[in-house]
Each structure stands twice: as C-alpha cells, then as structure tokens.
Amino acid sequence: MKLNKLTAVIAALSLSTVALAQDVDEIIRKSEQNLRGESSHAVMSINIVRPTWERNITAESWSEGSDYSLILIKAPARDRGTVFLKREREMWNYVPTINRQVKMPPSMMSQSWMGSDFNNDDLVRESSMVKDYTHTLLGKETIRGVECYKIESIPNDDAPVVWGKLISYITVEDYLQWKVEFYDEDEALVQTLEGFDTKEFGDRKLPARIRMTPQDAEGEYTEMVYESLEFGVEFDDNFFSVQNMKRVR
C-alpha cells in the first residue's frame, strides 16, 4: 500500500512537471506570435545614444513567420538602400555602394547592427525562442508596475545562438516581452532589452518603444520606436529573395 502511494505521488509530480514545461513553452510561443504574427510590415526609427553623440536611423521592415524577414535602411543618406535579408537559416546583406549581395556567416550574428547596441541576430532574429531554447518558469515578478512571468531560457546544443542564457519577463496579461536579460556563456549579464509605451497595433498590443542597454557602458543605449506596424500583410512569392534585395524600396 505504501509503495502504491509513493508511486502515485511520483506519478503526480511527473505529470505536474510535464504540465509546467508545456505551460512555459506556451507562454513563449504566445509571446513570439504576438511579436511576429503570421506576417508584418513596420516603419521604425532607431536612435543610437552615446555620451558625446547621437545617431538616428530610419528603417522599414517586412517579415513572414519566423523564417523570412527583410530590413531596408532609408536614412541616413550614406546608408540608404542597405538591405538585410533572412531566408530560413541563411543571412544576406546588400550594400548599394558596392552593388553586391553578401552571405553573412554565423559568426557575424553577434556583431553590432549598424553600430547600435542591437546585434544582427536581434534585428533579423535568426534564432527562435520557441525552437532554439529550453525554458524554465522561475515564477512571477513585477517589473515597472506590470506583473510578469520570469522565464529562464537555455540554448539547445545545436542552436545557432550567440547567448549563454536569457532571462525573460513576459507580461501575464498580454504576453509582451517587457524585459529580457542577455547573458554570455559565463552567465555574466551583457545587455538588457526593455519595452515601453504599450500601444495597439491592429488587433494586438505591443511596446511601441524598445530600448537595448549594454551592461558595462554608462550613458549608452539604443532605442527603437515603431512609427507604424501592421500585421497580416501579403507578399509576392519572390519578395524574400536575394534578387529582390536590389529592387526593394
């Protein structure tokens, strides 16, 4: 009888653990889906702030699911026409001054995007929170007055990611990525992403202003503001092609 009770307790704990894992994966999935949608089109202003100077970039982006995205730089004039393309696991960059499309190696994903505090992976999102990480729900925490799920994400062994660990704070009510901490392989905090100014974009709420702050650089950060953002956009079959990088405007 005691053995049967012990077996029942172990089984119940196992089922509870499985359910918790499913729940945290669902939180991450909803957060990613809320951010990406099936397809999207955005215009955004990106302000790079340093102690002695600032730089502003205007960009237009398009995405389809998690496998396809394209970013066109519209300003400043010297960078106008630069394009970044993601096609499944391939990354491409088009530089108009040399009129060439260049395939980017995985090692470039951790490099700064356009001199900002975002890296290439942050903007084109080669990695997927759903596919490339294993998640653990650590509990709940209130961040800037908003109740959030606190989730630890460890990359899978074969994942094409640049981080050793992520700690995400996803809002309980709307599944927004309210804060994300990025750690290196030694578990040292490298940078923090924060969302502000929640707005309605079509049928969903999202932070309209996103700030990336490096941990060890006082007075430095990069802010991205969505000027417009729409979901459910339809694309031609060849829109996310290497050939279209020269044509998109």
Q: What is the pLDDT of residue 37?
A: 74
Tell me which residue of 180, 178, 173 sits closest to 135, measured CA to CA: 180
C-alpha–C-alpha distance, residues 131 and 145, integer Å: 30
Residue 77, in any domain of the structure: yes
DSSP letter for each residue of 90-111: EEEEEETTTTEEEEPPGGGGGS
SS3 (DSSP) at 205? strand
Residue 22, in any domain of the structure: no
Residue identified by tokens 């079509």 is 202
C-alpha–C-alpha distance, residues 151 and 35, integer Å: 17
Residue 184, in any domain of the structure: yes
Residue identified by tokens 């290196």 is 184
At 8, is the pLDDT very low, low, confident or very high (cuts 50, 70, 90)?
Answer: very low
Q: Are 103 and 117 in contact (CB under 8 A)?
A: no
Name the least confident of 40-49, 69-78, 85-94, 132-141.
Answer: 85-94
Residue 4, in any domain of the structure: no
Task: Specify the CATH number for the domain of residue 126.
Answer: 2.50.20.10
Residue 76, in any domain of the structure: yes
pLDDT in tens, 110-155: 788 899 999 877 766 656 788 889 999 999 999 999 999 999 999 9
Residue 185, in any domain of the structure: yes
pLDDT in tens, 224-238: 999 999 999 999 989
Q: What is the pTM of this model?
A: 0.83
pLDDT in tens, 13-44: 333 334 444 499 999 999 988 877 789 999 99
pLDDT in tens, 152-210: 999 998 877 778 999 999 999 999 999 999 999 999 999 999 999 999 998 889 999 99
Phi, psi of 164 (to 5 degrees): -85, -25
% pLDDT > 70, the chain: 89
Q: Are 145 and 129 in contact (CB under 8 A)?
A: no
Residue 25, in any domain of the structure: no
Number of structural domains found in the chain? 1
Q: Which tokens belong to 227?
A: 């000027």
pLDDT in tens, 47-66: 999 999 999 999 999 999 87
Residue 27, in any domain of the structure: no
Name the residue range of residue 216's domain. Answer: 32-245
